[in-house]
Amino acid sequence: QVQLVESGGGLVQAGGSLRLSCAASGRTFSMDYMGWFRQAPGKEREFVTAIRWSGGATYYADSVKGRFTISRDNAKNTGYLQMNSLKPEDTAVYYCAIKRGLYSSTPDRYGYWGQGTQVTVSS
């Protein structure tokens, strides 16, 4: 089992920045990829970004490319999502998740999820 705890969400004006954190505990040796997803009201959960835990390869949705940056601190078992130039359409609950094996942007492929943190961007 892997436990994930997100933090860092909040309310920010358009154009502002937020940094989300995702602290992992438990069987962290089983983490191959950490992903960030988001879900807005009435919409399906969508892929935002992912990072390979060993090696650091990164993947981004087109909607956030150039604005968001994913990173990780292996020693702290913590992943980060730096969000810059935020837009009202970025408003959602943001979740971090862990998967074993190969890269995927499909939420169903991720086995462990955090509780989510609300990000609200005002216009």
- CA-to-CA distance for 122 and 71, rounded, in angstroms? 26
Q: Is the pLDDT of residue 29 over 80?
A: no
User: Token digits for 41?
Assistant: 């009201």
For residue 11, how far is the Cα from the chain centroid?
Answer: 17
Q: Each residue of 95-111: pLDDT tens digit?
A: 999 999 999 999 999 99
- Range name among 12-21, 25-34, 88-97 with the lowest pLDDT average: 25-34
**pLDDT score at 62:** 98
| Average pLDDT over the chain, rounded to an integer | 96
Q: Each residue of 62-91: pLDDT tens digit?
A: 999 999 999 999 999 999 999 999 999 999
For the beta carbon of residue 7, count every other beta carbon within 10 angstroms. 13
